[in-house]
């Protein structure tokens, strides 16, 4: 007898599970319930629709071949029924029936199932502040949000947008607003953008990109309320430190899984608040699968449950669910929390664990911050990228990578994804036979170089020191030499302005170090990207200087731009 499969949720995981099941099983009756009007849309594209990169509303719903992914398309091409504007209200697991309501007519409908798929997605977190209901205050998670915001930024020219939250959506939206000529103010509770996703010194580079593109930022401020005018329209955002005028307020403070339906049906909910599933994407009820933004995933490095809602993961979940319902055993092993983002002319990304996460998870992290060129440095258009590789001292395995820069970043992130997933050590990563030609990489690719530096540190071949620690040493007025080994011309164009700073170019080091540098003081060598800094560290150590370290990342990653004169 043909299976009856009901899917709740029609955006990413739901339609994918339905389509995959149909390709494997021609007989199953497949129905997708969706409370909204729109189905199978590109939720991740919404910020680009607001900013106008995506010109037409229809593009958010079109297949690569240009067909509109509406209910008719799914019916005709895939023999999948959609019930839109229909809300699932409860699940009777004993009778195997979903009780739903047609939101247009108010009518109750029952959907019997043999297998049920929960793809109920996530919703934006609503911070506990007054004024979220005011006109002009929006989230950016639904198609309707993007239509509203696009109309707002197009209608009035030169308005003021306040974005609450410097996460992915906040950053992408900042670029969209700026493209339309709006003033943008970001307010973020933490002291950096992408808090939790990137370590401080790497996130600061993103902050610099915001600064250079005239996005104003207020870190470490907490929003207290949004104030409205006499028409019920937002007027300003009030924080614990100030007030920011706002024609539009975008609230982008993260997501929460829509797990209520599952919870009230008695299904197990995980510690993150997402629906708990096994490797087959099965909930605690074997007849019910769940995937996409409403579930929690296993982190592949820590083994712990995490909530990382992402369209790419939702698609993987859908496929695995379709497989398993069709009787084809299939597993979803977990995630690394990978993200890539474009912030104006900067690309950034991360995967695995940050230094802080690694330490918290009980690893002994060894980090290398190794900037390098994305192409051969002499090839036109080559650009510097900053990489931070995190590895475990004990197992020498790669734990995480963070990257930013004007050049190609996603490639290095994806290589790290593969390395971490497969349990590669830094030594194994360093020998990867990655593609090389001048338009694509240095002869030693930036990520291989980062692996070499981490390996050097693990094997005690070199000593280095993080920029934050150097900053502390400067502020504590410690007695050390911050030796900038760049050329005098580079030095004049900008260096760390501190009493400890001294310029002695690498080319003169062997000749002059013994006379110019004291043997009894700690020396921290540095340059632009820490390559010459490293060479200088090795040179001075070789000459007998006892306490020499180079500063990780050089000036390119130095997170305190105000110190550079």
Residue numbers annotated as active site: 44
Question: Which 232-291 residues touch a copy of itself, going by CB under 8 A?
Answer: none
Residue span binding a copy of itself (CB under 8 A) among the ranges 86-94, 130-138, 195-203, 431-439: 431-439
Q: Does 314 bind a copy of itself (CB under 8 A)?
A: yes
> In sequence order, which residues have a C-beta less than 8 Å from that of residue 230 and are 6 or more positions away?
none
Of 125, 440, 480, 491, the one binding a copy of itself (CB under 8 A) is: 440
Q: Which residue intervals of 305-440 are DSSP H helices?
A: 311-325, 355-360, 410-421, 426-430
Q: Give the three-class secondary structure for 453.
A: helix
In angstroms, what is the minimal distance from the CB of 13 to a copy of itself? Answer: 10
User: For residues 225 and 131, what is the distance between their CA atoms, to the nearest angstrom?
Assistant: 6
Nearest C-alpha neighbor of 351 from the set 373, 335, 366, 369 = 335
In angstroms, what is the minimal distance from the CB of 418 to a copy of itself? Answer: 3
Q: Give the three-class secondary structure for 332.
A: coil
Of 122, 351, 354, 501, the one binding a copy of itself (CB under 8 A) is: 351
Question: Which 457-516 residues touch a copy of itself, going by CB under 8 A?
Answer: 459, 461-462, 486-487, 490, 506-511
Of 3, 4, 44, 361, the one binding a copy of itself (CB under 8 A) is: 44
In angstroms, what is the minimal distance from the CB of 197 to a copy of itself? Answer: 12
Which residue pairs, CB below 8 angstroms and at least 24 apart, start in 497-505?
497/563, 497/564, 497/565, 498/474, 498/563, 500/473, 500/474
Question: Which 535-554 residues touch a copy of itself, going by CB under 8 A?
Answer: 535, 538-539, 541-543
Of 232, 242, 423, 561, the one binding a copy of itself (CB under 8 A) is: 423
Question: Which 373-402 residues touch a copy of itself, going by CB under 8 A?
Answer: 373, 376-380
Of 201, 445, 484, 552, the one binding a copy of itself (CB under 8 A) is: 445
At residue 488's C-alpha, the angle toward residues 483 and 492, to 5°, is: 95
Q: Does 178 bind a copy of itself (CB under 8 A)?
A: no
In angstroms, what is the minimal distance from the CB of 230 to a copy of itself? Answer: 39
Of 349, 365, 400, 405, the one binding a copy of itself (CB under 8 A) is: 349
CB 85 within 8 A of CB 224: no
Of 438, 468, 498, 547, the one binding a copy of itself (CB under 8 A) is: 438
Residue span binding a copy of itself (CB under 8 A) among the ranges 18-26, 134-142, 218-226, 473-481: 18-26
CB 231 within 8 A of CB 144: no
Q: What is the 3-state secondary structure (H, E, C) of 257-277?
A: ECCHHHHHCCCCECCCCCECC
**Dihedrals phi, psi of 200, to nearest 5 degrees:** -50, -50
User: For residues 198 and 555, what is the distance between their CA atoms, to the nearest angstrom?
Assistant: 19
Residue span binding a copy of itself (CB under 8 A) among the ranges 201-209, 314-322, 362-370, 512-520: 314-322
User: For residues 210 and 59, what is the distance between their CA atoms, to the nearest angstrom?
Assistant: 28
Between residues 423 and 561, which has the closer beta carbon with respect to a copy of itself? 423
Residue span binding a copy of itself (CB under 8 A) among the ranges 234-242, 248-256, 386-394, 428-436: 428-436
Between residues 37 and 53, which has the closer beta carbon with respect to a copy of itself? 53
CB 84 within 8 A of CB 36: yes
Q: Does 200 bind a copy of itself (CB under 8 A)?
A: no
DSSP code, position 473: H
Q: How far is CA 500 from CA 367, 484, 509, 545, in A?
A: 25, 10, 18, 17
Question: Which 49-108 residues touch a copy of itself, going by CB under 8 A?
Answer: 53-54, 59-60, 62, 64-67, 73, 76-79
In angstroms, what is the minimal distance from the CB of 330 to a copy of itself? Answer: 8
Of 38, 432, 480, 491, the one binding a copy of itself (CB under 8 A) is: 432
């Amino acid at each position: 007898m043909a299976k009856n499969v009901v899917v709740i949720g029609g955006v990413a995981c739901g339609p994918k599970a339905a389509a995959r099941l149909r390709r494997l099983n021609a007989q199953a009756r497949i129905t997708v319930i969706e409370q909204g009007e729109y189905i199978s849309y590109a939720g991740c594209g919404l910020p680009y629709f607001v900013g106008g990169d995506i010109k037409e509303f229809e593009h958010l719903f079109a297949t690569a071949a240009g067909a509109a992914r509406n209910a008719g398309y799914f019916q005709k091409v895939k023999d999948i029924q959609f019930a839109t504007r229909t809300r699932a209200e409860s699940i009777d697991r004993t009778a195997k029936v979903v009780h739903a309501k047609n939101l247009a007519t108010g009518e109750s409908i029952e959907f019997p199932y043999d297998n049920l798929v929960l793809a109920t997605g996530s919703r934006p977190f609503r911070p506990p502040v007054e004024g979220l209901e005011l006109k002009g205050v929006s989230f950016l998670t639904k198609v309707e949000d993007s239509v509203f915001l696009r109309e707002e930024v197009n209608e009035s020219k030169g308005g003021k947008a306040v974005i609450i939250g410097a996460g992915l959506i906040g950053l992408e939206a900042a670029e969209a607003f700026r493209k339309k000529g709006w003033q943008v103010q970001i307010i973020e509770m933490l002291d950096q953008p992408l808090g939790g996703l990137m370590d401080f010194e790497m996130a600061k580079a993103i902050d610099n990109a915001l600064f250079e593109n005239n996005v104003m930022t207020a870190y470490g401020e907490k929003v207290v309320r949004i104030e409205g005018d006499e028409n019920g329209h937002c007027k300003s955002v009030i924080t614990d430190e100030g007030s920011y005028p706002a024609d539009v307020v975008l609230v982008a403070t993260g997501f929460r899984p829509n797990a209520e339906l599952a919870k009230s049906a008695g299904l197990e909910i995980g510690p993150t608040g997402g629906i708990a599933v096994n490797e087959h994407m099965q909930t605690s009820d074997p007849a019910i699968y769940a995937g996409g933004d409403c579930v929690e995933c296993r982190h592949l490095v820590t083994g712990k449950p995490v909530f990382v809602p992402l369209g790419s993961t939702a698609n993987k979940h859908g496929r695995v669910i379709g497989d398993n319902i069709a009787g084809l055993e299939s597993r979803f092993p977990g995630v690394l929390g990978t993200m890539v983002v474009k912030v104006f002319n900067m690309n950034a990304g991360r995967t695995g664990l940050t230094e802080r996460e690694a330490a918290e998870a009980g690893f002994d992290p060894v980090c290398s911050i190794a900037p390098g060129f994305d192409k051969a440095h002499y090839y036109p258009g080559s650009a510097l990228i900053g990489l931070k590789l995190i590895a475990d001292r004990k197992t020498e395995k790669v734990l995480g990578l963070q990257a930013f820069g004007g050049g190609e970043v996603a490639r290095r992130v994806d290589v790290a994804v593969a390395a971490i997933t497969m349990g590669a050590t830094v030594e194994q990563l360093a020998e990867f036979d990655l593609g090389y030609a001048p338009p694509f990489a240095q002869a030693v690719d930036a990520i291989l170089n980062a692996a070499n530096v981490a390996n050097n540190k693990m094997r005690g071949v070199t000593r280095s020191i993080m920029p934050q620690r150097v900053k502390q040493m400067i502020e504590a007025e410690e007695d050390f030499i911050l030796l900038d080994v760049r050329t005098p011309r580079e030095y004049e164009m900008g260096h760390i302005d501190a009493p400890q700073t001294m310029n002695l170019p690498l080319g003169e080091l062997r000749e002059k170090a013994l006379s110019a540098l004291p043997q009894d003081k700690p020396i921290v060598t540095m340059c632009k990207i820490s390559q010459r800094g490293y060479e200088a560290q090795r040179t001075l150590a070789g000459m007998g200087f006892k306490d020499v370290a180079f500063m990780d990342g050089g000036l390119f990653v130095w997170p305190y731009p105000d110190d550079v004169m």
